[in-house]
Chain A
Amino acid sequence: MGRVVATEKKPNTAHEFHFWTALDSPVGIGTIVRVDGELPVNGQLPRVYGIVVEGFSYTDLLSPIHDVLGHDGAPGTAAQAATLRAEIRLYTAHVLRQIPEEPLQPVPMGTVALASDEDIAVALRMDTYLKGGTNTGIPAGVYRAGAMEAPIYLDAEFLLGPEAAHLNISGVSGLATKTSAVEWLLASIFTHFPEDKGSVAAVCFNVKGPDLLFLDKPGHLDDADKAIYEKLGVPAKPFERVQYFAPYTAAGFSINTLRSNEQLSHNLSPLTWGLNEVMQFAEVLLNRDDVDAKADAFIDFLQERVINREFKDPVLSTAHRVRSFAELEAFFRDLLRGMEDRSSGEHWRTHHVATIRKVRNRLSNISTRCAGLVTDEGTVSDLPFGSFADRTVYVVDVASVEEDAQDLIFARVVSKLREHLERRDLGVSHVIVFVDELNKYAPAEGPDTYVRKMLLDISERGRYLGLVLFSAQQFRSQVHRRVPGNSGTSLYGRMDMDELATPGYAVLSPATRTKLATLEKGQLMVRHPHFSQPIFVRFPRPAVMRGRDGAELFPPATDLAIDVAVMRSLRQLDPAVSLDWVKRTIAGHDESDVLRARNETLRTKPDNVRSFFESRFRRVVPAEPLSAPAAVPIRALKGDDPYGF
C-alpha cells in the first residue's frame, strides 16, 4: 500500500515516520498501518505499527503561480491539460509499537500495509490482555479502515482497577455522544467484565433532562449498529436491572422526576433523608464563608452530644432526643427560651447565643432548601447500600432538584459507596459512578467545594476500593485537571475548535485536532494506558431508549392530588389499593400526617399495606351533630286558676 520514506530534512525517528501511498489508497488520519522492515536487526526483521496523524499532498509545482500561469488565470482550463501533474500522498505516522522492542531504533525503510485485525491487536498491545483464560478485554468499539473492521478492547484492569481506573469523556453537547458512549460502555462492561474479577454495578447521576431515565426500555438500532453489537459480543438489549431514585417534589406528593409515568413506577423509589443522613454532610450545604469556626464548633457539639442521644441540661425544660429536624427545632426553641428565662447571660456551654441562633437558622433552613429530599420527620428512603446487585444500574435523578440538594445527594451517595466498599459490604466489588457536567462539580477554578474534594479523592484513590469514576464534560479544559488526569482512559467525541486550541490538546497533531472537530456521531478518539497513541473507534447506538423518545412515549405525570399520589405509591406494595380506599382513609387528616403515613409505609414495606397505612393515623371521632332538646309540654292549666295553683 505504501513505502516508508525519509529525507535529511524529514527523517524518521523511533516514534515518528513518513510514508507515501498511491493516490487512491484508503489511508486517512487515524489509520493504523504496519511497516515491514527489509533489514534484519539481531536476526529479526523489524515490524513497526503506527497510526497516521498527518497527511500531505502536493505536486511537482514549485509555486502556485506556475499553475496560474499555465492556465492563464482561468481555473476552468485545468480540465484541458492532457496530463495530470505528478502528485504525492505523503503521510506522517506515530509509532504504536515496534517489534522487537529492543533495541529501539528509528523506523527503517520498508513496505507499508494496512493493519489487519491481528496487527491491530499487537499494535495496541491488546494481545497482552486478550489471551484465552486471562481475557480482560472490554469492547469499546470498532476501528475501521477501508473495508476492514477490527474490534478494539479496553483492559478491564485498567478501566475498573486496580492497575488504573476511571474514564473521562469530552465532547460538545447535543450530539448524543457522551451519554451514549457511557451507556454503550456500561452494557459492554456488564457483558464482558470477567466473573473472576468480581461484581460490578453502576450508579448514574441523571443531571439533565430525561437522558438516563429509560435505560430499561429498548431503543432503535439500525443494521449497522446491530452488526457492531454482534461483532463485539454484546447483546443489543436494554439493561435488565435498573433502579431509579429521585427525591419528592417540594410539596412531597409525587417523585420529582420526568420518569413519573405510572407505567414505569415499578422500579422508581423515593430518595428521602432525615437529620441523621444530612448532618454528616452539613458541610456540603453550609457556606464556609458564612459558618465560621464558632458556628462550626457548635455544630460539632450538636453532632457529638445532642443528636441521637438523650440530652439533659439545666437550661432545658426537659430531656431531648433529637432524631429529626422537627426535634432539632424543638431543642433549639427550648434552649433559647431557657436561656432567656434564666437570664443566664449570653453564653451556654461556651457558645454565644448569637452563634446558637445562627446555627439554628442555617440548619433549620436545610429542610426548606432541600424540601422533597430532606424531611422534617426523619423519614429515610435510600439506595440499597449493602445489597447492591451485580450488573445493575442505579440511576439517581437529580435533574429537577435544586443545586444544593444535588450537591448533598452527590456527596452522600458517593461517600456511602466509599464507606461500604472500604468495609467490603456494599454487595458488589466494583461500582462505576457516572457524573455528567463534571465542569460544574469539579471546576478548574472556583471555591474548593466538598464535592470537588470528594471527586478528586475518588479519582486519586478510588481504584484501590473498586470505586470507579466515569465522568463527562463538554470542555475538559474547564475541569480540575487532576480528575481527567487520573482517568486511565479518556474518550473524546466531537470537540469545539476553541477547546482544541487550549494547551491540553497541544500533544495532538493539527490533523488529529481537525478530525476531532469534525467527528461524526458514534465516533470517538480513545486514549488508554495500553495504547501508546490515541486511536479512533466507532461505537453503536446504545440499545436503550433515548431520553427524548422516552419522555414522549411515557409522558411524565402531571401534578397529582395527594390522594392519587398516595394511591400510586402504595400500589407499588399492594396493587389492590384503590383510590376510593385512599380517599376514605385520609379523609380529615392533615397533608403532613398523610405523607408521613405514606413514607412510613413505603419504608417499612409491611405485609398488610392497607392496615399498616391506616394504623399510622390517630383515630378521628366523627363529629356528631347537636340535636335540639325535646320540647317539654307545658302543663295544662286549670281552667279557672290563672296562676296555676
Chain B
Amino acid sequence: MSDHLDTSFDAVRRRLAAAFSDSGPIGTTRPLEIQSHGVVDAPAVKPAEVIEGSKQVARVVDDASEPRFAAFLDGSQLTLNARWVGVIPVVHGTVSAGVRVRRERRLTTWGAPIVRHALYAPMSLLDAASQQRLRDARIDVVDTLEKREPDSEHPFALQELAYKAVLSDRERAESELAVRWVEKENADLFVDGGISGNAKVAKAANVIGVIKSHQTLYADADGLGVITALKNGERSSVFKVEAGRRTPVVSWYLRIADRSGRDPFWGLVRVEVAVGATGAALTQRADDVSRWIFAERLPLALPDARWDKMAYGIRDAEEYLRAIQ
C-alpha cells in the first residue's frame, strides 16, 4: 500500500462508492463500538490461584505514593461500516497505538505511533467481482472468515466478526509497541489493559498492565467478597492468571478511589505484572507497583467518565490517538 494513499474512512468509502456503481447502500458513520452489535466478553468469574498467602485478604498499601512510570501505552480503535454488498457488511477499521513518555511532568510521544486502516469483510461470502473491487480499493483487506466458518450468516454476526478482527489488530498493535519499549527502554511502562497477550511483554519486568474492566473476575466466591470490599488504598492478595494460549502473569486487585456510595467496582483496577518474585519479594513487588499506580491518581482523568480507574497518562494517550487516527 502506498504510504501517501489516503486510507481514511471517508476516502475509502468514496472509492467503494465509485467501484460499486450499483447504488447499493452505503455504510454508517456510527461506530460499531457504540452500537449494540459491538461485542464484549461475556461476564465470568474465574477462580485463580492465590500465590501470596493462602487466601484472598485485603492488604493495606503504604500511602506514600511514588511516581515511577516513565511512559503510558494505550491503543484505540474505530470500526465503521463502510458499505453493504447486498447484506454483507464491509467494515472499515482503524487501529492505533501510542506511547506517551513523561519528561519533566509533561507527556510527549515516544517513538512513532502505529496507525493502521483496513477493510474487514467475509470474502468467501462475496462474489468474485465484489472481492476484486475490495482488493482494488487500495487498502488492506482482512478476510474475517480466513480461518473459520461463520457461526451465522446473519449480517450482525458477520459484523461482530469484523469487530473482533479489528479488536485483535488493535491488541496486536499495542503489543508491537510494548515489545519495542521492552527492547529499547529499561524504565517502567504503564499499559492500559492486560499484558499476557504477548509473551515478551508478559515476561518483561518493566511493563505493568492495569485493567479497568471487570468482565472476568479472578476469584472464588469468598475472594470476590474480599475484592469488592477493598477500601481505598487497599489491594488484594496476589494471584496467578493463566488463560489458554496467553502467557501466565501475576495479578492483584487495587482500589484507587473511595467507593463510598458507589458501585463495588468504583475505583477498582486489576494489575498484571510478570511472574517472578515469590514470598516477601512478591509482596514487596505488589506493594511497590501499587504505590506507583496510586501516584497516578493525580491529576484526575476527568472529564473521562472512567476517571475513577483511569490514569491521566492513559487519558492523554487516548486523546493523542484520537487526534492522529
Tell me if A85 counts as interface (CB < 8 A to partner B). yes
Q: How far, in Å, is A291 (CB) from chain B's closest CB?
A: 77
Instruction: Please report the C-alpha to C-alpha distance between residue A80 and residue B102 in the assembled complex, in whole angstroms.
Output: 15
Least distance between A57 CB and chain B CB atoms (Å):
14
The reply to whether the CB of A587 lies closer than 8 angstroms to some CB of chain B is no
Q: Is the CB of B300 within 8 A of A66?
A: yes
B279 near A: Cβ within 8 Å?
Answer: no
Residues of the A chain whose Cβ atoms lie less than 8 Å from the Cβ of B107: 83, 86
- The 8 Å CB contact of B312, one of A63, A69, A80, A85, is A85
Do residues A69 and B296 form an inter-chain contact, with CB atoms below 8 A? no
Whether B299 is near chain A, meaning CB under 8 Å from some CB there, is yes
Smallest Cβ-Cβ distance to B102: which chain A residue: A83
Q: Closest approach, in angstroms, between the C-beta of B44 and any C-beta of chain A?
A: 34
- The answer to whether A69 and B105 have CB atoms under 8 Å apart is no
Contacts of B300 in A (CB 8 A): 66-67, 69-70
Contact B105 A62 (CB under 8 A): no
* Residue interface bits A413-435, CB-to-B below 8 A is 1, else 0: 00000000000000000000000
CB distance from B12 to the nearest CB of A (A): 23
Produce 1/0 per residue, A235-272, CB < 8 A to B.
Answer: 00000000000000000000000000000000000000
Instruction: Name A52-106 residues within 8 Å CB distance of B.
Output: 60-63, 66-67, 69-71, 77, 80-86
Query: What are the residues of chain B within 8 A of A82 when measuring CB–CB?
Result: 67, 69, 102, 105, 295-296, 298, 312-313
List 11 additional A-B contacts (Cβ < 8 Å) besides A60-B319, A67-B299, A71-B298. Answer: A62-B303, A63-B303, A66-B303, A77-B298, A80-B65, A82-B67, A82-B105, A82-B295, A83-B299, A83-B312, A86-B319
28 A-B pairs with CB atoms under 8 Å apart are A60-B316, A60-B319, A61-B302, A62-B302, A62-B303, A63-B303, A66-B300, A66-B302, A67-B300, A69-B302, A70-B298, A70-B299, A81-B105, A81-B299, A81-B312, A82-B69, A82-B105, A82-B295, A83-B102, A83-B106, A83-B107, A83-B296, A83-B299, A84-B105, A84-B299, A85-B299, A86-B107, A86-B316
Contacting residues, chain A, for B106 (C-beta < 8 A):
83-84
**Which residues from chain A contact B298 at a C-beta distance below 8 Å?**
70-71, 77, 80-82
* Measured CA separation A82–B298 after assembly (Å): 6
Closest 3 CB pairs of A and B: A62-B303, A82-B67, A70-B300
CA distance A232 to B144 in the complex (A): 73
Which chain B residues border A80 with CB–CB below 8 Å?
65, 298
CA distance A77 to B298 in the complex (A): 9
Chain B hits for A71, CB < 8 A: 298
How many whole Å from B193's CB to the nearest CB in chain A? 19
Task: For the complex, give the distance between the alpha carbons of A67 and B315 in Å.
Answer: 15
- Chain B positions 75-103 with a Cβ under 8 Å from a chain A Cβ: 102
Alpha-carbon distance A380/B302, docked complex (angstroms): 84
B42-68 near A? 1/0 per residue, CB < 8 Å: 000000000000000000000001010
CB distance from B312 to the nearest CB of A (A): 5
- Closest beta carbon of chain A to B67's beta carbon, Å: 4
A83: chain B residues at CB < 8 Å are 102, 105-107, 296, 299, 312-313, 316
A421 to B73, CA, bound (A): 79
* Shortest Cβ gap from B63 to chain A (Å): 12
Whole-angstrom CA separation of A83 from B108 in the bound complex: 11
- Chain A residue nearest to B66 in the complex (CB): A82
Contact with A along B301-325 (1 / 0, CB 8 A): 0110000000011011001000000
Distance in angstroms from A620 CB to nearest chain B CB is: 96
Complex alpha-carbon distance, A614 and B13, angstroms: 111
A28 to B107, CA, bound (A): 24
Enumerate A611-645 residues with CB–CB distance to B below 8 Å.
none
A62 contacts across to B, CB distance below 8 A: 302-303
Which among B67, B69, B295, B312 has the highest number of chain A CB atoms within 10 Å?
B312
Select from chain A the residue with minimum beta-carbon distance to B72: A83
Per the bound structure, the CA–CA distance linking A63 and B302 in Å amounts to 9
The chain B residue with its CB closest to the CB of A23 is B106
Chain B: CB-nearest residue to A71: B298
CA distance A83 to B314 in the complex (A): 11
CA of A594 to CA of B270, assembled, Å: 110
Question: CA of A63 to CA of B69 in the docked complex: distance in angstroms?
Answer: 27
A61 to B299, CA, bound (A): 10
Contacts of B69 in A (CB 8 A): 82
* Most chain A beta-carbon neighbours within 10 Å: one of B102, B295, B299: B299
Chain B residues within an 8 Å CB radius of A77: 298
Q: Which residue of B lies closest to A81 (CB)?
A: B298
User: Which residues of B are found within 8 Å of A67, using beta-carbon distances?
Assistant: 299-300
Q: Which residue of B lies closest to A86 (CB)?
A: B316
Question: Smallest distance from the beta carbon of B105 to chain A beta carbons, Å?
Answer: 5
Which residues of B (150-183) have their CB < 8 Å from a CB of A? none
* Minimum Cβ distance to chain A for residue B158 (Å): 36
Which of B65, B106, B302 has the most A CB atoms < 10 Å from its CB? B302
Cβ–Cβ < 8 Å partners of B295 in chain A: 82
CB distance from A457 to the nearest CB of B (A): 62
A355 shortest CB reach to chain B, Å: 86
Shortest Cβ distance from residue B227 to the other chain A in the assembled complex, whole angstroms: 26
**Which of A61, A81, A84, A86 has a CB less than 8 Å from the CB of B303?**
A61
CA A63 – CA B298 in complex, angstroms? 16
A62–B312 CA distance with the chains assembled, in angstroms: 14
- The closest CB in chain A to the CB of B300 belongs to A70
How close is A502's CB to chain B, nearest CB, in angstroms?
41
Tell whether, in the assembled complex, residue A70 and residue B105 are in contact, meaning their CB atoms are under 8 Å apart.
no
- Chain A residues in 8 Å Cβ range of B296: 82-83
- Name the interface residues of B212-238: CB closer than 8 Å to any CB of A: none
Q: How far is the CA of A131 from the CA of B295 in the complex (A)?
A: 63
Q: Mark B278-305, 1 if CB is under 8 A from A, else 0.
A: 0000000000000000011011101100
- Contact residues in B for A84 (Cβ distance below 8 Å): 105-106, 299
B150 to chain A, nearest CB (A): 42
Bound state CA distance, A306 and B319, in angstroms? 93
Interface hits, A548-592 → B, CB 8 Å: none
A82 to B69, CA, bound (A): 9
What CA separation (Å) do A77 and B295 show in the bound complex? 12
Q: List A contacts of B303 (CB < 8 A).
A: 60-63, 66
Is the beta-carbon distance between A70 and B316 smaller than 8 angstroms?
A: no
**Smallest beta-carbon distance A86→chain B, Å:** 6
Bound Cα distance from A426 to B293, whole angstroms? 86
Task: Give the shortest distance, in Å, between B236 (CB) and chain A (any CB).
Answer: 24
Query: Across the two chains, which residue of chain A brings its CB closest to B68?
Result: A82
Q: Which chain A residues border B313 with CB–CB below 8 Å?
A: 82-83
For B296, B298, B315, B316, the residue with the greatest tally of chain A CB atoms inside 10 Å of its CB is B298
Closest to A59 in B: B299
The residue in chain B whose Cβ has the minimal distance to the Cβ of A65 is B302
Residue of chain B at shortest CB distance from A83: B312
Query: What is the chain B residue whose CB lies nearest that of A80?
Result: B298
The interface residues of chain B lying within 8 Å CB-to-CB of A69 are: 300, 302
Query: Which residue of chain A has the shortest Cβ distance to B292 in the bound complex?
Result: A82
Q: How far is the CA of A86 from the CA of B315 in the complex (A)?
A: 10
CA distance A86 to B299 in the complex (A): 10
Which residues of chain B are within 8 angstroms of A61 by Cβ–Cβ distance?
Answer: 302-303
Residues of chain B lying within 8 A (CB to CB) of residue A63: 303
The distance from the CB of A360 to the nearest CB of chain B, in whole angstroms, is: 87
Within the assembled complex, what's the spacing in Å between the Cα atoms of A62 and B298? 16
Q: Mark A116-141, 1 if CB is under 8 A from B, else 0.
A: 00000000000000000000000000
Once the chains are docked, how many angstroms separate the CA of A85 from the CA of B312?
Answer: 8
Chain A residues in 8 Å Cβ range of B105: 81-84
Cβ of B92 to closest chain A Cβ, rounded Å: 24
| Per-position binary interface string of chain B over residues 116-133, scored 1 when its CB falls under 8 Å from any chain A CB and 0 otherwise | 000000000000000000
Q: Which of A69, A77, A83 has the largest count of B CB atoms less than 10 A from its CB? A: A83
**How far apart are A393's CB and chain B's nearest CB, in angstroms?**
57
Chain A residues whose CB sits within 8 angstroms of the CB of B67 once the complex forms: 82
Chain B nearest CB: distance from A78 CB in Å?
8
Contacts of B319 in A (CB 8 A): 60, 86
Please give, as numbers and ranges, the residues of chain A lying within 8 Å of B316 by CB-CB distance: 60, 83, 86
How far apart sit A119 and B313, CA to CA, in the bound complex (Å)? 40
